[in-house]
Structure 1
Amino acid sequence: MANKELSENIEEYLEVLYKYGNKETYVSTTTISKRLEIAPGSVTQMLKKLEELGYINYIPYKGANLSDKGFKVAQKITRKHRILEKFLTDVLNVKPENVHIQACDMEHSLSDEAERAMCHILEHPDICPDEKPIPPCDFDFNSCEDCVNEEKDIEEIGVRKSNLISIADLYLNEKAEVSFIRGDSYILKKLMSLGIAIGTPVKLNNASEDKSSLNISVNGSDVEISGNIANNVFVSVL
């Protein structure tokens, strides 16, 4: 089910930090205030609360970024938002100017079961209508093929313990291990031809400025891959 332990307000804060920050970049109080249209003083109080709850790291006059705990929540709500945008656009034909606000209204109550069903209907989408990458699900599968073929109810399916990012989001020379691959059997076979499978150690060597092309080490060998492929291969940082 959708996370009922957190208020929509808290989820909105975490979502902003996910969108504008990373583990090395702190998002300023001013930026959060503008994005959420909330007074800076109120933002500061909430950031202190979120740090006490373990969802963020907060430094006065510098801002905040997500802890591992906060990242998991923020990635999940961002995924639901972008899946909803894709569903509202491609299936329900909602007008483009209405899609974002409707997704915002629905993301906090969307159940995990409904999210999974939408993903299946949309055939594992990797980008939303705004061409932003859709984060991976947190179900304990190695690939979308495994998810499609699994007949267990959602309550019986476990969730991953570790947070995943795409290869495209790695820092230069950062080492990781492939943990999830998005896509159908064609994608799986294509990646296998490059030596990339679940458990494969990888390292980002270089990337074009727009990350449309990346050079990675796969089991010690250099491989060139497109940004489209990189955005569908998710890794655990070592």
Structure 2
Amino acid sequence: MHGKEISENIEEYLETIYKKSLAGDMAKTTEISKDLDIAPGSVTQMLKKLEEEGYVNYYQYRGVKLTDKGYKIAKSIVRKHRLLETFLYETLGLDMEDLHEQACAMEHSLSDEAERKLCQLLEYPDQCPDDHNIIPVCDLNISTCYECSTIHSIDEINRRTENLIAIGNMKPQQVGKVKFIRGDNDKIQKLLNLGITIESEITLINSTPLNGPVKILVESEELLLDKELSYNTFVELE
């Protein structure tokens, strides 16, 4: 749990930068200021502090990007937040308008083991309910959710050193190897039917608008992968 290592304030900054820079662009100081309701001057001071501590790279007048260190922490917080929103809505029945604030209050104190058990309880969700944003993948060094379910304690699982990205979030011509498949055996079987397994090499050709499929190259064969599978199949970029 990162809350014991860094302050909730820093976590909020990293979470905001993560959301603003998910497409690969730099997060702007003005955007961070607006989202956190903090004066731009104070935001700039904090970004410089975060850079000194190795969480971000700050470029004056241009914006800020997360380092690998900052990205791992931010992704973990976003994952916990979105899992909590799903739990609060689907299990406890909270109103949609209350989800974000309540999840914000809980995300910093949720342990990694509680997060894992929550994910299992919810049957490995891939989207949060209020805005349908994708729930980031965990950083456990496993290849499927079934593998996770067979392990008693999170202490028995190593952490990934690499950052994974969903096929649906890849950019055209990016290449990666499949490292994790989220969901039940049905999703795994669908991918197997397409010839996609762990360690398959994937090249994104292009994405279609809205909820259409993405076109990928698997080894040397062009395939269409539906949106659901594209956001539940994760690769390590080469």
| TM-score normalised by the chain length of structure 1 | 0.96
* CA shift for structure 1 position 212: 2.7
Is the CA contact 1:212–1:227 (under 8 Å) kept in the aligned structure 2?
yes
Deviations 1:23-53, CA, capped at 9 Å, x for gaps: 7411111110000011111100111111111
Residues 2 and 110 in structure 1, CA contact (< 8 A), matched pair in contact too: no
8 Å contact 1:139–1:157 — kept in the other structure?
Answer: yes
Secondary structure, counterpart of 2:85 in structure 1:
helix
Contact 2:16 2:35 in 1 (8 A): yes
User: 1:41-99 CA deviation, whole Å, 9 max, x = no partner?
Assistant: 11001111111112111111111011122111111110000000000011111122111
Alpha carbons of structure 1 residues 88 and 213: separation in structure 2 relative to 1, 3 Å:
same
- Aligned match of 1:146: 147
**Structure 2 CA distance, aligned partners of 1:221 and 1:155?**
40
1:49 correspondence with 2:29: no
Q: Give the distance between the partners of 1:112 and 1:198, measured in 2 at CA.
A: 25
Contact 1:29–1:63 (CA under 8 A) maintained in structure 2: yes
Distance of 1:32 and 1:140 partners within structure 2: 32
Question: SS in structure 1 opposite 2:127?
Answer: coil
Structure 1 alignment gaps of length 5 or more? none
1:200 equivalent to 2:200? Answer yes
Q: Residues 166 and 230 of structure 1 are in contact (CA less than 8 Å); yes or no, is this contact kept in structure 2?
A: yes
Number of equivalences: 237
1:134 aligns with 2:135: yes
* Cα distance, 1:211–1:169 mapped onto 2, change above 3 Å: farther
RMSD over aligned CA atoms reads: 1.2
Query: Aligned equivalents of 1:33 and 1:172: distance in 2?
Result: 31
Superposed displacement of residue 199, structure 1: 0.7
**Matches of 1:137 and 1:185 in 2, distance apart?**
18
Aligned to 1:235: 235
- Mark the runs of 5 or more structure 2 residues left unpaired by the alignment: none
1:70 aligns with 2:65: no
Question: Counterpart of 1:189 in structure 2: which amino acid?
Answer: Q
- Between 79-88 and 4-13, the greater mean CA deviation after superposition: 4-13
Are residues 212 and 57 of structure 1, via their aligned partners in 2, closer, same or farther at CA, if it must alter by over 3 Å? Answer: farther
Deviation per CA, 1:115-144: give whole Å up to 9, x if none: 111111110001000211101111111010
Structure 2: how far apart are the matches of 1:96 and 1:28?
A: 28
SS at match of 2:31: helix
Alignment partner, residue 16 of structure 2 = 16
* 1:47-196 to 2 correspondences below 5 Å: 47-129=47-129, 130-151=131-152, 153-196=153-196
Does the residue aligned with 2:134 lie in a helix, a strand or coil? coil
Q: Give the share of equivalent positions with the same residue, in percent.
A: 48
Q: Is the 8 A contact 2:2 2:73 kept in 1?
A: no
1:56 maps to a residue whose letter is V
Inter-CA distance 159–42: structure 2 relative to 1 (3 Å threshold): same
**Structure 1 residues 123, 23: CA separation in 2 closer, same or farther (over 3 Å shift)?**
closer
Displacement after TM superposition at 1:17 (Å): 1.1
